[in-house]
Structure 1
């Protein structure tokens, strides 16, 4: 499961679609509607919010807006709380850089033309607020 902290506009088609699918699964987990993935580390930051379902709802709505801007049809009715307030989840600069590098490694194989969009400083999605710091403790770092 990869719930990207990166701005959705930075995600290539495959990453955007996968993130949507995985965030819908995360929503199901947070709502208590599945027994799988309940201990997935990527869910920690959503669980730490005052209302985890609002937090994942806002995250999903952000993905849906980007998909719509690209002409994709992500069904907003699948979001339990599409009008949730922004949870402003902190994401560290180290985490964001790690995710950008991870995405660059994936994109270099499947869509090299997309690499130019990943140049420069990474930007976080509107669900997140950038703070100085290292890779998150919940991240399972793998060599790129």
Structure 2
């Protein structure tokens, strides 16, 4: 399971579709609808939120909005919480550290180099790294829950 902190526009087709599926699985886990993946480390930051189900719904909406821009047909009715407020102004905004973003950027670029060379970027990590609208950036190292 990979729930990217990076902005969905940075993902290739495979990454966006996989992210949608994995975030739907995360939603099911956080709502107690499945017994699998309940201890997955990427869910920690959602669980630490005051509203885990709302936070994952906001995350899904960010992916959905990118899918619409690309002309993909994701089913928004699969998002359990429809009343969402995303981004740093939203009351469910989560934090992501600069170290985590750099780690994710490098991880994504290694994936893109193999499967979507047209999206692969070389050179330094952009400053600032574009982030998913759910997150606000704070200084810090790679997250404790990340598995390098």
The reply to whether TM is greater than 0.5 is yes
CA RMSD of aligned residues (A): 1.4
Aligned to 2:118: 113
Output the CA distance in 2 between the equivalents of 1:24 and 1:97: 25
Return structure 1 stretches of 4+ with deviation > 6 angstroms: none
Secondary structure of the residue aligned to 2:42 is helix
Superposed CA deviations along residues 116-141 of structure 1, whole A, max 9, x for unmatched, are 49962321111000010000000011
1:1-144 equivalences in 2 (<5 Å):
1-86=1-86, 87-116=92-121, 120-121=126-127, 122-141=129-148
Contact preservation (8 Å) 2:100, 2:143:
yes
Is contact 2:6-2:105 (8 Å) kept? yes
Q: Secondary structure at the match of 2:20?
A: helix
Count of residue pairs the alignment pairs up: 141
TM-score for both structures, normalised by structure 2 = 0.91
Structure 1 residues without counterparts, runs of 5 or longer: none
1:46-95 Cα shifts (integer Å, max 9, x gaps): 00111100000000011000001000011000000133223110100000
Q: Which structure shows the higher helix fraction?
A: 1
User: Structure 1-normalised TM-score?
Assistant: 0.94
Q: Aligned partners of 1:97 and 1:18: how far apart in 2? A: 21
